[in-house]
Structure 1
Amino acid sequence: MTQQPQPDMNDEKARASAWFRSLRDDIVAAFQNVEDTQSEGSFSHLPAGRFEVTETTRASDDGSDAGGGLMSVMRGGRVFEKVGVNVSTVYGVLGERAQMAMAARKGIDGMKDDPRFWAAGISLVAHMQNPHTPAVHMNTRMFWTPHAWWFGGGSDLNPCIEYADDTAAFHAVQKEHCDRHDASYYPRYKEWADEYFYVPHRGRARGVGGIFYDDHNTGDWENDFAFTQDVGRAFLPAFLAPTNKRRNTPWTDADKDQQLVHRGLYAEYNLVYDRGTKFGLETGHDANAVLMSLPPMAKWV
């Protein structure tokens, strides 16, 4: 990551913010279409799910405009028990704790002297009605400070009942989109996902992985933005394939119990380890939007 002083990059910021919003619109439309086409199974008698959209704001210490976004949540659908698709564009000054974390984690000098930041991104988590249909997480983002800019994000599959062919197909789509840019991206970012989405106190991963990347800055903003766009484009084909394959699979009470226990693992990870959760809460973003990722129901044994 470059450590040279950064220009304001206003055009690049606007393009990135607009892309995340466009991706959000495409995903929301695709998910509502899944609901509309669900005509069999245990939940087909329910009304087709629709997203409730709420504007979110980021609180600033001095009351100045600090940005915000849209929180879109669907609950109790035919296929999706709870799914959130959030976009935000936030900016302002990082607090002391966030400055220290940024300097330590990113190796950025000068945050104390000029702690301004700008960030935009999309964040998605889906928890499904049918235990055979995998939960999923996806996010991509751009972050800017006067000292450095970078992209980050990824996508990972979280089935409570694992199918090897679903896992292979999900990873194949990730690899295809990564390989369009650099053959080293997929193996590098798959390994990073395996390390990042690991729950140390349980001694296991929270799912079957995917890709995860952060601090992505090759020095070529256009190429890095194009890569991040392709990570976003990979999401729907990677996720809808297992969704459509499994959403009508018969399930038992034991399957549902297994799903609820796995969701407990997912909640533990997001509350204890997830960087995005910590950053969102520490920088004053809407708590409901930050905690949107938590499942509607979970169980611990």
Structure 2
Amino acid sequence: MIELDGQQQAARDWFESLRTRICAAFEAIEREAGSDAAFEYLPWTREGEAGTAGETGGGVRGLMKGRVFEKVGVNVSTVGGAFAPDFAGTIHGAAEDPRFFATGISLVAHMANPHVPAVHMNTRFLVTTKRWFGGGADLNPPIPYAEDTAAFHAALKQACDANPPGDYDRYSKWAEEYFWIPHRNVARGVGGIFYDHLDCADDAAFGANLAFTRAVGEAFLAVFPPIVRRRMGLPASEDERATMLAYRGRYAEFNLVYDRGTLFGLRTGGNIDAILMSLPPVATWA
């Protein structure tokens, strides 16, 4: 059992409460579509490193497969331990001391209708010799609609503008650079925001950074369900579905080759199924 200090508990409580609200919102959309699909929750425990006793945290994997959401995962985790020496040097504040704590929420939704965009959202709080928040959200439509892209970015911009240290121009550019597939020379989607290493040197900085991270979660919850409702009833041709499956292949390539979160989970003893829930249920390659 991990003993949490006040900051760690506050961050964990927020991520878990956001998970509950997002899952309820997504299940409500399934009900509107005439589906009784619901999230299935699977708790998991992280075993300690060799030579340590007991568990060092864990999490809950939430997964739903429905009529609108072909596959959506909403995971929360709170873990601690020590990074492997070769990995510690790549983590903010861990080069001299590999001990860490991490808590966060991670969400990926792959949709049944190709007109509805896939989406990713992740926010987290990490503690090494430093403490910081990171995360973001990005929209991944197989068939982009300018209206949806504009609404998604506007919601994230509002969250940034209203909550220092939010910096929309910087974080949206960061997302463009991060969510890029170099070997194909294409973007993974239509962007969003990405931020990292929002250091919490004192309680005031922690409060401001948590408030911004909360605003990102609220913005996502406010903007994505209306986009789903706007598109989920549109007719889709076989060609459009083929476009979606090919796009999903690119999404999988990015997450398996470049995504830091995937690597972090695998290198810290996370639940394999929870880590790889970001992969689409069906995809194609030429």
Same structural fold, with TM-score higher than 0.5 when normalized by the shorter chain: yes
In structure 2, distance between residues paired with 1:59 and 1:97: 20
Return 5+ residue gaps in structure 2 as ranges: none
Q: How does 1:1-301 map to 2 (within 5 A)?
A: 10-39=5-34, 47-62=35-50, 63-75=53-65, 77-102=66-91, 106=92, 108=93, 111-112=95-96, 114-145=97-128, 147-182=129-164, 185-217=167-199, 219=201, 220-301=205-286
Report if the CA contact (8 A) 1:56-1:289 is conserved.
Answer: no
Report if the CA contact (8 A) 2:11-2:125 is conserved.
Answer: yes
Greater relative contact order structure (CA < 8 Å, 6+ sep) = 1
Task: Render the CA deviation track for 1:69-94: whole Å, top value 9, x for unaligned.
Answer: 1000001x111000000000000111
Report if the CA contact (8 A) 1:49-1:80 is conserved.
Answer: no
Q: TM-score, normalised by structure 2?
A: 0.94
Q: TM-score, normalised by structure 1?
A: 0.90
In structure 1, distance between residues paired with 2:4 and 2:107: 26
Return 5+ residue gaps in structure 1 as ranges: 1-7, 40-46
1:141 offset after TM fit, Å? 0.3
1:59 offset after TM fit, Å? 2.8
Q: How many residue pairs get matched?
A: 279
Query: Which segment is superposed worse, 30-39 or 175-184?
Result: 175-184
* SS at 2:132 equivalent: strand
- Which residue of 2 is the match for residue 42 of structure 1? none
In structure 2, distance between residues paired with 1:246 and 1:206: 20
* SS at 1:259 equivalent: helix
Over the aligned positions, Cα root-mean-square deviation in angstroms equals 1.5
1:97 offset after TM fit, Å? 2.4
In structure 2, distance between residues paired with 1:27 and 1:9: 25
In structure 1, distance between residues paired with 2:162 and 2:109: 27
